[in-house]
A and B are shown apart, each in its own frame.
Chain A
Amino acid sequence: MKLLIKQGRVVDPANGIDAVMDILVDNGKIAKVAKSISEKAEVVDARNLIVAPGLIDMHAHLREPGREDKETIATATRAAARGGFTTVLGMPNTNPVIDDQAAVEFVLSKARKEGVVNVYTTGAATKNQQGKELAEMWELRNAGAVAISDDGNTIPTASLMRKVLEYARMYRLPYLSHAEDPALSEGGAMHEGYVSTELGLQGRPSVAEDVIVAREILLAKYTQGRVHFCHGSTQGAVELVKQAKKAGISVTMETCPHYFSLTDEAVRGYNQNAKVSPPLRSKEHVEAIKKGLKDDVIDVIATDHAPHLLVEKYVEFDNAASGMVGLETAVPLVMNNLVHAGVLTISQAIAKMTINPARILGIPKGTLSVGADADITIIDPNREETIDPKQFESKGRNTPFAGMTLKGVPVMTIVAGKAVMRERRVVG
């Protein structure tokens, strides 16, 4: 089965391409990329559309096994397809925790059977994510884990963190760090600042993120290990990573759409949908995150897709679960708030969602090179859409973006040469 994508604006940062071209897909692979291709194939008219390598979300909570009431691999990957993602990386904080080869194999086999897009998984860094003993990273990697992380649990001591980095380094596994000092943010429900004081909510200070980022950078330097900072949200973190990169230390950084789209003002009215971890920050941090994206200090945009049940979310603000769904809002937020707003070029934005995460994770994805898997995302940069959680494929409806009208939406998602989303609908 052949597919010919004609006259789209092909943006392939890995190959330095940003030009109107045709792409021929054959047998699930990219067969040819050229100015004009004539071939007998199903034709996709991509005029005025952006044709990008399939987007990669390197931070998603798939919830399976254990919390299939919140999300399953089937529903999460449908959400990914609708959101323009061809590859997702699951986080290990499932139940049971993905801390051994059996759990990795379960996720990957489930994904093969029920997944609509490619699924990779992270393994835990410590047994049961308890921050006490190292997890079996060698077996995790052999079973298919591409990174390790204790996810929401910051490794409690510098000495254990050192061991994690030394051990993971042998297998070239990056450590994905949720950098937030648990003692400094204990009991906090939102960013500590003007709004938290006004609302009478206990704050989580930005410095809680900064001190762990600093610790992780120093340990990465000392051990020669690789640290990737998940969902960076503070000015301090951006500055520290910038300095570390300048010093040649092997660190990378991601942020999420909510950290460049919303401030802590979104919490007003005790809006539980704006409760997330790390918390939405104040304006100066949001500006620093945008600057970090622009300057390429921040390498990756990921979603931190975190579906929750209504009963976990619509309770007292302090008791509400943290997190928001993100797979189906990420592309419009990136397009509207970064690309159209002039913060990022289209190439930069696409790089942060394709080749950059692929390189960090060491997976053969994120390009439109001939011979590569034909994972392709087609985006209509000028189409406007109002975010409507009722349309979500995800089981989660917890988003603070409902009702927002954004410009730039994915219109086609192709995985291994097969369209899995057309015109905003998941197919097949």
Chain B
Amino acid sequence: MIPRNYREMFDELNRKNEEFEKILARMKGADELSTKDVLSMDDLTPKDIELIFRITLPFKEFLKRPDKKIPLLKGKSTIQFFFETSTRTRVSFELAGKHLGADTINVGKADSSIGEKGETLNDTALTLDAMRADCIILRHSRAGTPQMIAKEIQAPVINGGDGWHEHPTQTLLDLYTIYEKKGRLKGIEAVIVGDILHSRVAGSLMRGLKKMGVRVRVCGPATLMPCGVEKVFGVKVYHNLDEAIQGVDVAYALRIQAERGATGEIPTVREYSKQYVINERRLKLAKPDAIVMHAGPVIREVDITTQVLEGPQSVVQEQVTNGFAVRLALLSLLVMGKPGGDGKQKTLAEVK
């Protein structure tokens, strides 16, 4: 039953992982992330982002291996709390954790008492800390919830999206994708199109792009623009996409968020799509080598036409792959070699 050369096979596997670890160590150098948690793009310095990119690169290669298991996080546990639906973020974090050898647990809204009457967020945080998880990934429909949880617990917390506020790992993969395609971020021109108001993707993206020296335009109906967006994020506001897309390197489409009431802010999706869909004619107004991006799920013919989405300038599928690599990189940076929580509980009085 057991092949005679099994020891050789194992050696070869181990060697591969050893090689990979060496590459990781070389790319990482002596650098560490400046933050315990990734809650907002504001938590990350440009140096942090560069470090994440350097680690993402080998992980992207790693994903091409037939054996995608490397037990860098063996003996660690990650808990994913997703109180809102998610496909890309949840699956890529879970797979990333599993590939890295961590024990990953998913908790959804139906299984949990978070936010229910009678339990404070602090109580929830204390419970999580008592589990001695090594990393918490949290998505929540209310802005600020990951921040509140992170304040009270020792394990690193990754914001998997909070309300209208931020979705920083999406932005990390977006920045990585632009960097990969354009070879730089500084001096790039980008336009973000659509429902800026309800979009946590835009919330993080505007912060991340500005931090890395990208010039940012936002384009959409006035009713879908956050109050004071120009001043808060240093972006230029357009209501006409033909003008906004002129000469950009990156055209980033957002989804109309019907579940957050966006359809009440516009007369019809029909009228919206006529004005704001990224189609071939409009894409011609951008730079010839411009790329088209979307955080998904794409609503075809409303956000982007099928021709553009499936055309040569679309990098939407690569964003998903890069998301996986970025999350592998981020988990390894935040969790690897870090001591676990000591499970020492703070009382509510200490917390407040």
**B120 pairs with A200, CB closer than 8 A:** no
Question: Is there a chain A Cβ closer than 8 Å to B98's Cβ?
Answer: no
Closest-by-CB residue of B relative to A201 is B143
Question: Is there a chain B Cβ closer than 8 Å to A315's Cβ?
Answer: yes
Contact A202/B164 with A197-B228, A314-B121, A314-B122 known, Cβ cut-off 8 Å: yes
**B142 pairs with A196, CB closer than 8 A:** no
Minimum distance in angstroms from A165 CB to a CB of chain B: 33
**A319 pairs with B142, CB closer than 8 A:** yes
Contact A270/B348 with A197-B229, A314-B120, A318-B142 known, Cβ cut-off 8 Å: no
Contact A270/B227 with A200-B164, A200-B166, A314-B121 known, Cβ cut-off 8 Å: no
**A200 pairs with B165, CB closer than 8 A:** yes
**B226 pairs with A197, CB closer than 8 A:** yes
Question: What are the residues of chain B within 8 A of A192 when measuring CB–CB?
Answer: 227
Q: Mark A312-336, 1 if CB is under 8 A from B, else 0.
A: 0111111100000000000000000
A76 to B165, CA, bound (A): 38
Interface size on A, residues (CB 8 A): 23
**B118 pairs with A200, CB closer than 8 A:** no
Q: Mark A219-248, 1 if CB is under 8 A from B, else 0.
A: 000000000000000000000000000000
**A203 pairs with B227, CB closer than 8 A:** yes
Q: Which of B143, B166, B229 has the most CB of A within 10 A?
A: B143
Question: Is there a chain A Cβ closer than 8 Å to B65's Cβ?
Answer: no
Question: Is there a chain A Cβ closer than 8 Å to B144's Cβ?
Answer: yes
**B143 pairs with A317, CB closer than 8 A:** yes
**A314 pairs with B227, CB closer than 8 A:** no
Give residues of chain A (191-207) contacting chain B, Cβ–Cβ below 8 Å.
Answer: 192-194, 196-203, 205
A196 to B231, CA, bound (A): 13
Question: What are the residues of chain B within 8 A of A1 when measuring CB–CB?
Answer: none
A196 to B228, CA, bound (A): 10
Minimum distance in angstroms from A365 CB to a CB of chain B: 37
Question: What are the residues of chain B within 8 A of A341 when measuring CB–CB?
Answer: none
Q: Which of A198, A200, A310 has the most CB of B within 10 A?
A: A200
Question: What are the residues of chain A within 8 A of B147 when measuring CB–CB?
Answer: 269-270
**B200 pairs with A200, CB closer than 8 A:** yes
**A196 pairs with B227, CB closer than 8 A:** yes
Q: How extensive is the interface on chain B, given as a class?
A: 20 to 34
A201 to B147, CA, bound (A): 13
Minimum distance in angstroms from A310 CB to a CB of chain B: 6
Question: What are the residues of chain A within 8 A of B143 when measuring CB–CB?
Answer: 199-201, 270, 317-318
Q: Which of A193, A196, A269, A315 has the most CB of B within 10 A?
A: A315
Q: Mark A156-193, 1 if CB is under 8 A from B, else 0.
A: 00000000000000000000000000000000000011
Question: What are the residues of chain A within 8 A of B162 when measuring CB–CB?
Answer: 200
**B232 pairs with A194, CB closer than 8 A:** yes
A301 to B163, CA, bound (A): 36
A192 to B227, CA, bound (A): 7
**A310 pairs with B228, CB closer than 8 A:** no
Minimum distance in angstroms from A94 CB to a CB of chain B: 20
Question: What are the residues of chain B within 8 A of A198 when measuring CB–CB?
Answer: 232
Question: What are the residues of chain A within 8 A of B297 when measuring CB–CB?
Answer: none
Question: What are the residues of chain A within 8 A of B232 when measuring CB–CB?
Answer: 194, 197-198
Q: Which of B118, B151, B228, B348 has the most CB of A within 10 A?
A: B228
A197 to B164, CA, bound (A): 9
A315 to B119, CA, bound (A): 8
A40 to B120, CA, bound (A): 57
Question: Is there a chain A Cβ closer than 8 Å to B115's Cβ?
Answer: yes
Partner of B227 from A197, A316, A318 at Cβ < 8 Å: A197
**A315 pairs with B164, CB closer than 8 A:** no
Minimum distance in angstroms from A269 CB to a CB of chain B: 7
Question: Is there a chain A Cβ closer than 8 Å to B7's Cβ?
Answer: no
Give residues of chain A (344-367) contacting chain B, Cβ–Cβ below 8 Å.
Answer: none
Question: What are the residues of chain A within 8 A of B115 when measuring CB–CB?
Answer: 315-316, 319
Minimum distance in angstroms from B350 CB to a CB of chain A: 13
Give residues of chain B (109-126) contacting chain A, Cβ–Cβ below 8 Å.
Answer: 115, 117-122
A315 to B162, CA, bound (A): 14
Question: What are the residues of chain B within 8 A of A270 when measuring CB–CB?
Answer: 143-144, 147-148
**A316 pairs with B228, CB closer than 8 A:** no
Question: What are the residues of chain A within 8 A of B255 when measuring CB–CB?
Answer: none
Closest-by-CB residue of B relative to A390 is B349
Question: Is there a chain A Cβ closer than 8 Å to B275's Cβ?
Answer: no
Minimum distance in angstroms from B259 CB to a CB of chain A: 14
Partner of A201 from B140, B144, B231 at Cβ < 8 Å: B144
A314 to B352, CA, bound (A): 10
**A200 pairs with B352, CB closer than 8 A:** no
**A317 pairs with B144, CB closer than 8 A:** yes
Minimum distance in angstroms from B346 CB to a CB of chain A: 13
Question: What are the residues of chain B within 8 A of A199 when measuring CB–CB?
Answer: 143-144, 165
A243 to B143, CA, bound (A): 39
Contact A316/B148 with A193-B227, A200-B165 known, Cβ cut-off 8 Å: yes
Give residues of chain B (178-197) contacting chain A, Cβ–Cβ below 8 Å.
Answer: none
**B163 pairs with A200, CB closer than 8 A:** yes
Closest-by-CB residue of A relative to B151 is A269
Q: Mark B220-234, 1 if CB is under 8 A from A, else 0.
A: 000000111101100
Question: What are the residues of chain B within 8 A of A317 when measuring CB–CB?
Answer: 142-145, 148
**B203 pairs with A316, CB closer than 8 A:** no
Q: Which of B120, B144, B151, B352 has the most CB of A within 10 A?
A: B144
Question: What are the residues of chain B within 8 A of A316 when measuring CB–CB?
Answer: 115, 121, 140, 142, 144-145, 148
Minimum distance in angstroms from A319 CB to a CB of chain B: 7
Closest-by-CB residue of B relative to A191 is B227
Minimum distance in angstroms from A202 CB to a CB of chain B: 7
Closest-by-CB residue of A relative to B117 is A311
Listed by A's residue number, 27 A-B pairs whose Cβ atoms lie within 8 Å are A193-B228, A194-B227, A194-B231, A194-B232, A196-B227, A197-B227, A198-B232, A199-B143, A199-B165, A200-B143, A200-B162, A200-B165, A202-B164, A205-B227, A310-B120, A310-B348, A311-B118, A315-B115, A315-B121, A316-B121, A316-B140, A317-B143, A317-B144, A317-B148, A318-B142, A318-B163, A319-B115
Which B residues lie at the A interface, using CB under 8 A? 115, 117-122, 140, 142-145, 147-148, 151, 162-166, 200, 203, 226-229, 231-232, 348, 352
Please give 17 more A-B residue pairs, beta carbons under 8 A apart, in addition to A200-B203, A269-B147.
A192-B227, A194-B227, A194-B232, A197-B227, A198-B232, A199-B143, A200-B143, A200-B165, A269-B151, A270-B144, A311-B118, A314-B120, A314-B121, A316-B121, A317-B145, A318-B163, A319-B142
Which 9 pairs, one residue from A and one from B, show the smallest C-beta to C-beta distance? A200-B165, A270-B144, A316-B142, A314-B120, A200-B143, A197-B226, A200-B164, A318-B142, A197-B232
